[in-house]
Amino acid sequence: MSPQEQMFTIGVEEEYQIIDPRTRELSSTAHIILPKAQEVLGNAVQYETILSQIEAVTPICFTLADVHTQLTRLRSGISNAAGKVGKQIAAAGTHPFSHWSQQLITPKPRYEELVETFGQLIREQVIYGCHVHVGVPDRETATLILNHARPWLAPLLALTANSPFWLGADTSYADYRTGLWWTIPQSGPPPYFASYSEYRALIQDLIDTKSLEDPTKIYWDLRLSERFSTIEFRITDVCMTVSETVMVAGLIRALVRTCYEQVMHAVPYPLVSNDVIRAAHWRAARYGLDEELVDIQHMCSIPAHQLIEQMLAFLRPALEAEGDWELVSTCVRNVLETGNGATRQRKVYKHSGRFEDVVDFVVAETNRL
């Protein structure tokens, strides 16, 4: 595939919970489910850090219709494989009540090394995210795109917040996964980089000081992929429904395309401190769509819905260029009306007072293909 053909392609990775339908607890059975899933899906389904987690990886997609088709195929295939051994899958950023200490680490060198390095902090990462890759083959251009994209990460987080419960309690966060993840070094928003060489120099400094084993262990919310010629967005919880994942993939590709145009036209990127960016992410994780969020462009606080509408307006030319405007804007406004995953989970719990019902709801939504 030529560099031009790789521009603005999409790849999506989703991490799913494995559920015991009798207890609704997490179930450490990935080693049983994975071989059955791979019979149908091949290497598109993979292990993750814990055995109560399984990951789906789409092939390179060129349209949002491709993304929808592939995610439907992957969720269906994994769900069917899980069903053969009496298990289910669920797409939420945290489990409502299963305890992190009961989860088994996947017996693979990479994951065992993570536990050896980070100890209990990595054991507590019983979290489930969605990573979206967008093709930008030129590393210099991709680095500058990061600078332009950083201010728009928080509204993406708010739209997709899907982890309100932890250890049998309401955390008061819409996205509690973010706070858990921030305990790991080299997580959170990336710094600014004037060039790709500056990006590589920082990573090399971290390696030279033994602060980082290798570049794949940079865990920023936004980074250059080490394996692919892509920009990788790691900011969001796994979305409950396929339509929401397609929505966020469309928004992210439009953001990359919009920021690419800014780089090409030498538009200055906003010089905003990491503290402000991090505060904006915290607000989005804490409140989701229910309160005011940080408008980094104007350095003020505005209602979440207003910020989301600003983002849509900013991305509209790119969405229209891809033929995605109607699909993505409709889905975004549906989330604004019905609530993100966190809002919908809380609604179920408020109605019944049972976390088991929340799990059942998430499982049903995950499999609504």
Q: What is the pLDDT of residues 210-237, one digit of tens each?
A: 999 889 999 999 999 999 999 999 999 9
User: How crowded is residue 181: how many other Cβ atoms within 10 Å of its Cβ?
Assistant: 21
Which letter, b or e, does each residue of 148-172 get, where b requires 16 or more Cβ atoms within 10 Å of its Cβ? bbbbbbbbbbbbbbbbbbbeeebbe
Return the closest-CA partner of residue 356 out of 23, 102, 79, 127: 23
**H or E element that contains 343:** helix 341-352
Domain region containing 321: 3-366
Determine the distance from the C-alpha atom of residue 112 to the mean position of all C-alpha atoms in its chain, rounded to a whole number.
Answer: 23
pTM: 0.97
Mean pLDDT of the chain, nearest integer: 96
pLDDT of 61 above 90: yes
Residues in the chain: 369
**Amino acid (one-letter) located at 72:** T
Bridge partner residues of 47 (DSSP): 54
For residues 74-82, average pLDDT: 98
Angstrom distance (rounded) from CA 361 to CA 96: 12
The Cα 197–Cα 265 span in angstroms is 21
Q: Which band of pLDDT confidence, cut at 50, 70 and 90, is reported for residue 66?
A: very high
pLDDT at 2 exceeding the cut of 90: no
CATH number for the domain spanning 180: value is: 3.30.590.20
Look up residue 55 and give its two tokens: 């990951």
Question: Could you say which DSSP state residue 148 is in?
Answer: H
- What's the pLDDT score for residue 4? 64
| pLDDT for res 5 | 65
Number of domains composing the chain: 1
The confidence band for 270, taking pLDDT boundaries of 50, 70 and 90, is confident
How do beta strands 219-220 and 187-188 pair? parallel
Helix, strand, coil percent values for the chain (each to nearest 5) = 55, 15, 30
* Residue 338 to residue 342: CA distance in whole angstroms: 11
304-321 helix and 153-160 helix, angle to the nearest 10 degrees:
110
The whole-number average pLDDT for the span 253-261 is 98
Model pLDDT, residue 331: 98
pLDDT of 9-32, one tens digit each?
999 999 999 999 999 999 999 999
d(CA 88, CA 246): 22
Contact predicate 89/78, CB 8 Å: yes
For residue range 115-150, list pLDDT tens digits in order: 999 999 999 999 999 999 999 999 999 999 999 999
